[in-house]
Structure 1
């Protein structure tokens, strides 16, 4: 077995990083939109974050399927970073949803 990732594994890891990053950016934009009272845009950005997380999960599922099929990936710093990035983005998106809802409630009082 090689000490590096295959091209397919590298692409999956990069897909995780890119899509998780997009999700976090969309979630931050949702908060900024809610802060200005644009709740339509805020909800669109949260939906975009959800879609980016779905794409990230597809990459992760591909890696997990490969490992379950007997083709494990060497653990690299890049692979660990991709998983950390995904989990952080999921948490941030969940928190952003709550922040948008708070801004919306405050705007309706």
Structure 2
């Protein structure tokens, strides 16, 4: 497996970790554990930053003229990344809604 393929698999794996952490935070918030949810969302943000750095490295290499082959696996990795980011953002909003509802 070459370096690019390794990074692609890492993007898939780490994106899944971030998404799972965000959904765990939502479960905690639904149970009223907002401190736990906040901590888990912070974990999800840190994990997202980790995967974002991988993607930035790949983009930087491409900008330097080292083209990255785009195949189904790369498309799949980008899909995982974008889906996890969207899920994290929506879950943050949902947790805020749950917090507001509890404060009523």
- Give the TM bin, normalised by the shorter chain: over 0.9
**Number of aligned positions between the proteins:** 104
Q: Are 2:95 and 1:86 aligned?
A: no
TM-score by length of 1: 0.91
TM-score by length of 2: 0.95
Question: Secondary structure of the residue that 1:71 maps to in structure 2?
Answer: coil
State the alpha-carbon separation in 2 of the partners of residues 36 and 58 from structure 1. Answer: 33
Question: Where does structure 1 differ by over 3 angstroms across 4 or more consecutive aligned residues?
Answer: none
Q: Are 2:74 and 1:74 aligned?
A: no
Equivalent residues in 2 for 1:15-94, closer than 5 Å: 15-94=10-89
Partner residue of 1:8 out of 3, 21, 41? 3
State the alpha-carbon separation in 2 of the partners of residues 59 and 14 from structure 1. Answer: 11
Farther-moved stretch of structure 1 (95-104 vs 6-15) = 6-15
State the alpha-carbon separation in 2 of the partners of residues 52 and 16 from structure 1. Answer: 11
Instruction: Extract unaligned runs of 5+ from structure 2.
Output: none
State the alpha-carbon separation in 2 of the partners of residues 15 and 47 from structure 1. Answer: 20
